[in-house]
Structure 1
Amino acid sequence: MSKSDAYNLKYHITPTHGLLNDPNGLAYFQGQYHVFYQWNPYGTEHKNKSWGHVVSDDLVNWHRKETALVPSEWYDKDGIYSGGSIVHEGKLYLFYTGNVINKDGTRASYQCAAVSEDGHQFQKLGPLFEHPAGYTRHVRDPKVWKDDSGNWWLIVGAQREDLTGDALVYKSEDLISWSCQGSFLEQEHSFGYMWECPDVLQFPEHDVFVFSPQGLPEEGDQYKNPNQSGYIIGRISESGKFLGTLSDFNELDRGFDFYAPQTFKVNNRILMFGWMSAMTEETEQAVPTIEEGWVHALTLPREIVFADGVLYQRPLHELQLLRQHEVHEGISNSGQWSLPSLAAEVVIRFMEQPDSFQLIIRNSVQIDYDHEQNSLTVWRTNWLTNEKEHRRAVLGHSLAELHMFIESSSIELFVNEGEEVFSLRYFLEDTNERSVRFESDCSEAVLSMYRLQESIDEE
């Protein structure tokens, strides 16, 4: 069954078929960028997980490779779950969680590794250490890094036996023998029931702990998605403990569809992919692409920059390679345009802080700006309930730019060069509906639109 033009994504990483979720094992190895991802090639449910694999020379044009890791051993027979990678001594190491369902129905998880000399064929090395005492079987998603002293560190998401979330950190001198250093955070905490996909970003002035806590109660504009992804700022001590405060947790993406991000560092740039995205089972099974035999996508790659005490997420400058045709027009209060295609990029730059306005995309997604509150609210129609729903963020700076990557069924909105980001899926059958309307009483701006080329090799 082929993908329809109404929903297919031309420049995002999607599965050819089946279900895609977390980005995994991000690496730059032997002159190519490698992106792995959770993949069920046999259906659109969350089971039978392997690692799909795509590579690129430029972070824009992607080529599909053979499945990198599949369930095959006693320690991963029921699923290859998420994890990271490192490049060491000319080899690419993948770290993952092996999922096991025992005959009596109980489950177990094992933190495992695999290694490759060519980036395509991987030899499994088996489990790295025993399951930690005091934790349920929900221990997963290992991410590894090296410190300035040559020590290796591994962080893994976990759930305590009292059903609270945690992250554990391990230390090694050789990537083979690992010793548990306990909880990554020094402080006692109760912050959701499980922490997934932990990651560590290191900047000259700060360290940043990124993770995806499950079970946070909604608080105003915060935590409105089924699961959250965000970060806290602090410092990693010599003992491997993170000195930071959970009360300072900041969501990475203000949209509807963003989860399980992972980063990697290349040429002093920190790059990130996320998953579009986690949702309730009922909502997921109502996604229209399920009928076409596929579901979900990764976000575009983003560069992570630390500034003004927060993380900025900026679309990579390499994405400009996708541009084929461009239009520039002035906006004076109001206007209407037509997208050049259903794979487009739209940039609106304001001459000064604008008055309140509405921006309506394809009569389906609406962006409201409130001048007095300096806030953005993004609206879409829920495809399960057919009701309007929204996400809102108050900006830290005056609104100067909206930068949107629009596809037939996804939008990634970058505000003020990534000060805030809204990622979302939406589903509209009418491929002829391509309108963009701007409605304001007093706003001066310049609008730029670009048609973007297809960048995923489907062979």
Structure 2
Amino acid sequence: MVLGNSFNNSTLGCVLLYTSKDKISWNQVSIIDESDGFLGYMWECPDFFELNGHFFLLFSPQGVKPKGDKYKNLYQTGYIVGDFDYSTNSFKLLRGFQELDYGHDFYATQTILDDMGRRIVIAWMDMWDQNYPEQRDGFNGQMTIPRELSLTRSGRIIQKPVKEIKGVHGKIIHFGKSNGGTSVLLNNNAAEVIIIASKSSDLEVFVESRNSTKTVNIKYDSRNGKVSLDRGGNDGLRRTEWRPKNILKMKIYVDASSIEVFCGKGEVTMSSRFFPDGPVQVRLGDESQAKLLQVIDLHQSVLINNNNLN
């Protein structure tokens, strides 16, 4: 059992490891890792798992100070990589803290190992101390799309939506090469959007209320090798480094009050809430060109059967 904790009069965070023979009586056997001050005063929601021969400690540190485009949320979620020795219960750090998602609303991740051997992560898609309008309806936040984890050659985590998402695909409402200014009105404000474009040109995508009162701007800056999501208002911009390898590909999931962006093979993701007024459309920036713009309806499904995915 891994347990989030704080020490040094609650000024530093850490994760403790406990073992038990009966799952009733537990003994602390080691400290997996602890903050040196940079990673804040509390490590929440720890998850410790093996992936491709290395061990990952995934957790949500509180109290990390912003640094340029990094760590701009109130609290963060990310991971460290190392090796674990079962005989000594010791963890050897190999790689320092890496944010898992670069949007506004991504916290308290947990993973499962499913029957097919996939490591699946789900996060709380919200952030502490946000005054979102949904609270008037008696709820706070939602869960992200389940994402399958894998690794790059350099050992960084890649996230991609689980294949079962195909079970909520509806009809294709737009498909083909698209010029700047192309707009597609969504049905029920929910869609899967796939964009393929040149990696050497800038790209802008707007997810917006049709009356333009609420807009999210997703942009790829080819010169500086950065991707950003800007939902406007105070603290609306999130940005990180990303350079597509061969061709620019984005997959964007839009729902009634959320956007989840997957860049490339999932090496960068951005998850943010937004609250549009009325019908929502997806629009290419006037100077943007897409080799492919595909928009697929998403609909509610009571049951997703794997047999229907073939």
The TM-score, its normalising length taken from structure 1, stands at 0.60
Aligned to 1:349, which of 196, 199, 207? 196
1:380-459 to 2 correspondence within 5 Å? 380-382=231-233, 387=234, 389-398=236-245, 400-429=248-277, 431-432=278-279, 434-439=280-285, 441=287, 443-455=289-301
Q: 1:437 to 1:274 in 2, by over 3 A?
A: same
For the pair 1:312 / 2:158, whether they are aligned, the reply is yes
Aligned to 2:61, which of 203, 207, 213? 213
Q: 1:301 to 1:330 in 2, by over 3 A?
A: same
How far the C-alpha of 1:170 sits from its partner, in A, is 1.1
Aligned to 1:375, which of 210, 214, 226? 226
CA distance in 1, matches of 2:140, 2:68: 30
CA distance in 2, matches of 1:204, 1:193: 30
What is the aligned partner in structure 1 of residue 148 from structure 2? 303
Which residue type is aligned with residue 142 of structure 2?
A
Aligned to 1:233, which of 74, 78, 81? 81
CA distance in 1, matches of 2:243, 2:90: 30
**Is the 8 Å Cα contact of residues 225 and 279 (structure 1) preserved in structure 2?**
no
For the pair 1:277 / 2:122, whether they are aligned, the reply is no
Q: 1:412 to 1:456 in 2, by over 3 A?
A: farther
What is the aligned partner in structure 2 of residue 162 from structure 1? 9
> Partner of 1:244: helix, strand, or coil?
strand
CA distance in 1, matches of 2:296, 2:242: 26
**Is the 8 Å Cα contact of residues 412 and 421 (structure 1) preserved in structure 2?**
yes
CA distance in 1, matches of 2:83, 2:243: 24
Q: 1:170 to 1:411 in 2, by over 3 A?
A: same
Which residue type is aligned with residue 193 of structure 2?
V
CA distance in 1, matches of 2:259, 2:29: 41
Which residue type is aligned with residue 273 of structure 2?
R
How far the C-alpha of 1:442 sits from its partner, in A, is 6.1
For the pair 1:330 / 2:177, whether they are aligned, the reply is yes
What is the aligned partner in structure 2 of residue 178 from structure 1? 26
**Is the 8 Å Cα contact of residues 340 and 449 (structure 1) preserved in structure 2?**
no
How far the C-alpha of 1:332 sits from its partner, in A, is 3.6
Q: Deviations over 1:296-333 (max 9, x none)?
A: 11111111112222101100111011011113121245
Query: Can you give the 5+ residue segments of structure 1 that lack an aligned partner in the other structure?
Result: 1-153
**Is the 8 Å Cα contact of residues 5 and 15 (structure 2) preserved in structure 1?**
yes
Q: Deviations over 1:80-131 (max 9, x none)?
A: xxxxxxxxxxxxxxxxxxxxxxxxxxxxxxxxxxxxxxxxxxxxxxxxxxxx
CA distance in 2, matches of 1:297, 1:157: 23
Structure of greater Rg = 1
**Is the 8 Å Cα contact of residues 354 and 444 (structure 1) preserved in structure 2?**
no
CA distance in 2, matches of 1:342, 1:244: 44
Query: Can you give the 5+ residue segments of structure 2 that lack an aligned partner in the other structure?
Result: 304-310
CA distance in 1, matches of 2:43, 2:282: 39
CA distance in 2, matches of 1:242, 1:445: 46
Which residue type is aligned with residue 207 of structure 1?
F
CA distance in 1, matches of 2:199, 2:52: 33
CA distance in 1, matches of 2:49, 2:254: 29
What is the aligned partner in structure 1 of residue 307 from structure 2? none
1:76-155 to 2 correspondence within 5 Å? 154-155=1-2
CA distance in 1, matches of 2:108, 2:288: 40
User: Once the two structures are aligned, what percentage of the paired residues are identical?
Assistant: 30
What value does the CA root-mean-square deviation take over the aligned residues? 2.0
How far the C-alpha of 1:396 sits from its partner, in A, is 4.7
**Is the 8 Å Cα contact of residues 354 and 443 (structure 1) preserved in structure 2?**
no
Q: 1:406 to 1:297 in 2, by over 3 A?
A: same
Which residue type is aligned with residue 426 of structure 1?
F
